[in-house]
C-alpha cells in the first residue's frame, strides 16, 4: 500500500465569545507550561543534569496539584502535553547544533497556538469540535479537504492581527511524484529581479512591502503616540498587525504559485546557499532582502520538490557564480556590484550578470548530481573577502 503525504490544510474560522475565551485560556496555559518546563530544564542544565520529556510531563502533573497553578487543569491537557513535546524537539535540535537554545515565550507576543491530537477533537460531517467546547468551529472552507480525509492533528491559532485559524493535518493522496521532465534550471536570487533563471527568464520582484509602505508608516506613527497599556494602543497595534498580515499573505501567495510552477516544470532545481541572516545586517538593503523572502522561497521549493519527486541542489555560497564566465570558464578577479553586464576578457562573450550566474549555478548543480550527493562546489577564498554575496547594486528607497 502506497503511503500518502501528510499535508496541512489551513482555514480561517470565527469563534463564538465562549470559544474565543476557552482558546485564549488554553493559549495562556500552553505558554505558561512551556516557560515553566524551559526554566526547569535550564536550571537542571546548569547543574549538569538532563531533564527529558517524561520528567517535564511528571512535573506538569505536580504543577496541576498546586494551588497556584490549579488553573492548568481547567483546559484540555493535550495542548499542554504537546507543548512539552515541542520543547523536547527544540532541545533535540539545539544539542544537534541545528538551532539556538530555546527561548521563553513572551506574554506580549500576540501570536499564540494550541495543538490537539486525535483524542482531543471530533470531526464529523465537516464539523470540527475541539476539547472543552460544546459547539463546532465556524470554519470558512476556502478549499475542500481531500476526499475521505480524517485529520490526525489540529492546530488552532490566533495571529497578531487577531485573526483565528485552524490547521488540519491530513493524508493527501493527490500529492504524488510527477513524471520526470529531464530538465534542469539554475536559479539566481536577486532584488532588481526576484529570480533569474538559466533559461534567461527574469521573474519580477513584486516588492509587496513597498506597496503598503506609506500606509504602514502612518499606522506605526499613530501607534507610537498612544500611551503604553491603553486600549487605544492595543487597537493601533492591531491596525499595524493587519497591514503586516496583508503584506505577508500576498508574499506567501506569490511564492506558492512561483515555486509550484518551477517544481512542475523542472526535474532538477539548482539554487545558491544564501546566508540571509548575515545579509540583512546590511542596513541599506535589510528591508528589501526581508521583503524578497529568499529563505521562505527556498523552504517552499524544497518541500514541494520532495512531494513531487524533484531534486533541489544547493550550491555553496562561496561559489563565484557571478565572476565565472559561463562560456569559457574564465574567472574574473573582481566584480563590483555596479557591474550588471560584463565582457569576458578571455573569449569576448558578453554576459548579463544574473543570467550568467544562473547558468553557472545550473552547471555546478549538474556536476553535483554526477559526482554524488553532498558535494558542494567551492572556491579559494581571498584574504579579507566577505563570506556573503550581495545581490544588487541599487539601494532601496
Cα-based torsion angle of the residue sequence 282, 287, 292, 293 in order, rounded to the nearest 10 degrees: 80
Coil, strand, or helix at residue 360?
helix
Q: What is the CA radius of gyration of the chain?
A: 25
Q: Do the bridges between strand 268-272 and strand 184-189 make them parallel or antiparallel, or are there none, so unpaired?
A: parallel
Listed residue (74, 105, 108) closest to 87, CA to CA: 105
Q: In angstroms, what CA-CA distances link 317 with 184, 259, 382?
A: 19, 21, 14
For residue 278, which phi and psi values (nearest 5 degrees)? -80, -35
Q: Which helix (H) or strand (E) holds 31?
A: helix 17-46
* Nearest to 236, CA basis, from 246, 245, 227: 227
How many angstroms separate the CA atoms of 64 and 36, rounded? 12
Cα distances (Å, whole numbers) of residue 273 to 90, 125, 299, 359, 390: 24, 46, 12, 16, 13
Q: Which residues are catalytic?
A: 188, 272, 354
Cell numbers describing residue 109: 507576543
**Coil, strand, or helix at residue 303?**
helix
Residue 333, CA distances (Å) to 195, 238, 239, 355, 376 in order: 25, 51, 50, 19, 21
End-to-end Cα, the chain, rounded Å: 56
Euclidean distance between CA atoms 248 and 8, whole angstroms:
19
Burial class (CB in 10 A: 0-12, 13-18, 19+), 189: buried
Amino acid at each position: 500500500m502506497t503511503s500518502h503525504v501528510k499535508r496541512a490544510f489551513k482555514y480561517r474560522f470565527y469563534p463564538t465569545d465562549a470559544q474565543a475565551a476557552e482558546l485564549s485560556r488554553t493559549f495562556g496555559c500552553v505558554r505558561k507550561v512551556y516557560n515553566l518546563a524551559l526554566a526547569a530544564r535550564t536550571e537542571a542544565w546548569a547543574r549538569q543534569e538532563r531533564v527529558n520529556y517524561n520528567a517535564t510531563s511528571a512535573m506538569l502533573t505536580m504543577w496541576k496539584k498546586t494551588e497556584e497553578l490549579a488553573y492548568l487543569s481547567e483546559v484540555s491537557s493535550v495542548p499542554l502535553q504537546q507543548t512539552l513535546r515541542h520543547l523536547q524537539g527544540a532541545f533535540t535540535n539545539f544539542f544537534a547544533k541545528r538551532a539556538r537554545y530555546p527561548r521563553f515565550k513572551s506574554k506580549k507576543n500576540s501570536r499564540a497556538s494550541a495543538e490537539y491530537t486525535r483524542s482531543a477533537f471530533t470531526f464529523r460531517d465537516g464539523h470540527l469540535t475541539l476539547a472543552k467546547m460544546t459547539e463546532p468551529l465556524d470554519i470558512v472552507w476556502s478549499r475542500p479537504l481531500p476526499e475521505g480525509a480524517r485529520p490526525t492533528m489540529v492546530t488552532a491559532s490566533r495571529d497578531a492581527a487577531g485573526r483565528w485559524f485552524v490547521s488540519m493535518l491530513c493524508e493527501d493522496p493527490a500529492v504524488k511524484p510527477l513524471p520526470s521532465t529531464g530538465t534542469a534550471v539554475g536559479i539566481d536570487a536577486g532584488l532588481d529581479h526576484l529570480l533569474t533563471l538559466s533559461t534567461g527568464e527574469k521573474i519580477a520582484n513584486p516588492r509587496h512591502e513597498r506597496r503598503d509602505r506609506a500606509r504602514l508608516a502612518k499606522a506605526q506613527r499613530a501607534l507610537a503616540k498612544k500611551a503604553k497599556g491603553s486600549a487605544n494602543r492595543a487597537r493601533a497595534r492591531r491596525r499595524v498587525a493587519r497591514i503586516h498580515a496583508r503584506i505577508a499573505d500576498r508574499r506567501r501567495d506569490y511564492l506558492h504559485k512561483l515555486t509550484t510552477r518551477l517544481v512542475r516544470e523542472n526535474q532538477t532545481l539548482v539554487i545558491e546557499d544564501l546566508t540571509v541572516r548575515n545579509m540583512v545586517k546590511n542596513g541599506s538593503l535589510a528591508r528589501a532582502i526581508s521583503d524578497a523572502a529568499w529563505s521562505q522561497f527556498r523552504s517552499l521549493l524544497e518541500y514541494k520538490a520532495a512531494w513531487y519527486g524533484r531534486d533541489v541542489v544547493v550550491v555553496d555560497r562561496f561559489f563565484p557564480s557571478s565572476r565565472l564566465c559561463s562560456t569559457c570558464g574564465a574567472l574574473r578577479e573582481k566584480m563590483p556590484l555596479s557591474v550588471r553586464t560584463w565582457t569576458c576578457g578571455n573569449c569576448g562573450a558578453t554576459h548579463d550578470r544574473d543570467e550568467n550566474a544562473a547558468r553557472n549555478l545550473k552547471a555546478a548543480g549538474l556536476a553535483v548530481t554526477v559526482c554524488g550527493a553532498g558535494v558542494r562546489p567551492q572556491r579559494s577564498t581571498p584574504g579579507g573577502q566577505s563570506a556573503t554575496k550581495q545581490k544588487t547594486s541599487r539601494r532601496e528607497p
